[in-house]
Chain A
Amino acid sequence: MTQTSEPLSSGPDSASASQSAIDAEMAAISTAYDASLRQGGRAETQPRLDYAPYRSSLLRHPTKDLHHADPEGVELFAPVFGHRDVGRLESDLTIQDGGEPVGERMVVTGRVLDGEGRPVRRQLVEIWQANSAGRYIHKRDQHPAPIDPHFTGVGRMLTDDEGRYRFTTIKPGPYPWRNHRNAWRPAHIHFSLFGTDFTQRLVTQMYFPGDPLFALDPIYQAIVDPAARARLVATYDHDVTQHEWATGYTWDIVLTGSRRTPMEEETA
């Protein structure tokens, strides 16, 4: 990868590159990935840690290969969450702060599964997001869009026996960031999930179908395999949409397979 037009002295977060320069870098990586697939290379299911168009990754990606380990001991388990960890109303982000937040009310639901397709039951799902104007309630978010006094953008719940989760929230807006000149993030909701093994821990982002910003976004494009990145896009679901109330989206999440020897609990 060439950095010739961007002196490093300007710093990785200097936001000086144009969108077309970022697009060219992303296209070159994509072309190289396609070529490697044609030569029998493996499809990549996770984002690249070293994805230079995402400037913040330059100094933060490990340069050495991850070291293979077989999980053992404590790693074969995960923390256990229950009703002590979650308030009953925390899955409705539209009622948390004494009034109606502004924006498109929507329901987001789906299942959390492991790599063998088994439901991941009674597991903590945490979400956070910007408001409908694309602003987070966070001291570091300086985007001059309105703060919604009735929207904190934080939710959590436990999956049910089928691994299902369900949130009521407001559709987040896209927002500018300082990766490069005129950089805008596609609208997204952050998700945090645990699973039943330490190895299944996942933080990711859910996106909305048809977003024109996908092709321009180096965080989304860091998942170089098109089929893999499409797995982060929710589906509009009219059966989830509610009459005169909220639009509906469905998004399933697959954690990696459990590495533990199956116990009686899983045969029940």
Chain B
Amino acid sequence: MSTDSTGLPPTPGQTVGPFFGYALPFDGGADLVPRSHPAAIRLHGTVYDGAGEPVPDALIELWQADEHGRVAQVQGSRARDCWTFTGFGRTPVDDTGHYSFTTVRPGATAGVQTPFFAVTVFARGLLHRLVTRAYLSLEDAVAAGDPVLTSVPEDRRHTLVAGEDADGYVFDIRLQGTDETVFLDFGEA
């Protein structure tokens, strides 16, 4: 699919900078469901730079379908009422580069075999936002013939797959270096 050649040129991105801290994070931003939710799981990980050091000033956004594969389209994605699942989360990393969301396991959306979390990464030093996917299981996704995972070279596929721990999933993000995360381009520019 090519972009419309008669279209308007997009506004360029710029870094989120280090001082987003009092503007973008909001109460409950990391909690897509309350921890007491019967299906609550944790999705968490650490953002690393090319030297393997944690990035302490990144911001992560999460966007996902609910357990049944439904994409919420109700207003109030930034509001938190503890009842409505909006599928949107946003959290800064802590001083050790670690982020953590409380959420549910996404289901597969209509027409898509393999469920995934859609993840956006912002940070000082990162001149334009990066987007990626966190899949839940490599074997299932490849078995399902997921078009993105199967098109990624085999030795990099694991960077798109969240590991499992006792509470849910672990998805580390490596901006550079060995095991650099596969970041996606939707052909938008």
Contacts and interface: CB of A to CB of B under 8 A. Distances in A.
Interface of A: 45-49, 51, 54-75, 77-86, 113, 115-117, 124, 126-128, 130, 136-141, 152-154, 190, 192, 198-205, 219-220, 222-223, 227-229, 231-232, 253-257, 259
Interface of B: 1, 3-4, 7-24, 49-51, 53, 55, 57, 61, 63-65, 69, 71-79, 86-88, 106, 108-112, 116, 118, 120, 122-131, 133, 147-148, 151-152, 175-177, 180-189
* Secondary structure class of chain A's binding surface, majority of residues: loop
A63 B185 CA distance: 14
A192 B176 contact: no
Contacts of A228: 9, 12
Contacts, number: 257
A186 B53 CA distance: 29
B127 A69 contact: no
Contact of A79 (B15, B88, B180): B88
A202 B88 contact: no
11 contacts: A45-B189, A46-B189, A56-B125, A59-B49, A60-B124, A63-B177, A137-B22, A198-B118, A201-B129, A256-B10, A256-B189
A192 B24 contact: yes
B7 A115 contact: yes
Given A72-B111, A190-B23, A257-B7, A60 B125 contact: yes
Contact of A60 (B11, B116, B175): B175
